[in-house]
């Protein structure tokens, strides 16, 4: 099921979203101060590429200052967008598995520093 879910995810926007996160991460990595944020965007690009079968374990205590900065500047808007997308997808029965993946992305978008993808 996760293979079919990942294939459908890639076809219907996952690949383009992953490429977007990747290029945004490259843009952040151009500046020295943006490198830690760019690396987190690479982590998000990896999750957006193949979300089915991947778990997100967040560990806020590992980097609390970086997570708070991320939350203030980027995280709240990214997480809100992911939650709204997930809610819209959960309206239909077919969209529920895809909506759940967007909720997983929202969890990572809130506190990416110290988060592990397994």
pLDDT recorded at residue 98 = 96
Can you tell me the distance from the alpha carbon of 47 to that of 118, in angstroms, rounded to the nearest whole number? Answer: 10
pLDDT, one tens digit for every residue, the chain (118 residues): 899 999 999 999 999 999 999 999 999 999 999 999 999 999 999 999 999 999 999 988 889 999 999 999 999 999 999 999 999 999 999 999 999 999 999 999 999 999 999 8
Look at the chain and report how many structural domains it folds into. Answer: 1
Q: Which domain holds residue 88?
A: 2-117
Can you tell me the distance from the alpha carbon of 112 to that of 43, in angstroms, rounded to the nearest whole number? Answer: 8
Q: What does the angle CA 47 – CA 30 – CA 103 come to, to the nearest 5 degrees? A: 20
Residue 116: strand pairing partners: 57
Q: Which pTM value belongs to this model?
A: 0.90
Cβ-Cβ contacts under 8 Å for 37 (sequence gap 6 or more): 28, 70, 74
Can you tell me the distance from the alpha carbon of 84 to that of 92, in angstroms, rounded to the nearest whole number? Answer: 14
Can you tell me the distance from the alpha carbon of 112 to that of 104, in angstroms, rounded to the nearest whole number? Answer: 12
pLDDT recorded at residue 99 = 96
């Amino acid at each position: 099921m996760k293979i079919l879910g990942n294939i459908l995810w890639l076809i219907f926007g996952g690949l383009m979203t992953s490429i977007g996160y990747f290029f945004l991460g490259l843009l952040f990595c151009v500046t020295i101060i943006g490198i830690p944020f760019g690396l987190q965007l690479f982590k998000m690009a990896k999750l957006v590429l193949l979300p089915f079968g991947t778990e997100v374990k967040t560990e806020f205590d590992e980097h609390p200052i970086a997570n708070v900065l991320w939350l203030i500047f980027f995280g709240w808007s990214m997480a809100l967008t992911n939650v709204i997308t997930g809610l819209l997808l959960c309206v239909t029965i077919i969209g529920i598995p895809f909506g759940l993946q967007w909720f997983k992305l929202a969890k990572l978008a809130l506190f990416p520093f110290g988060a592990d993808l397994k």
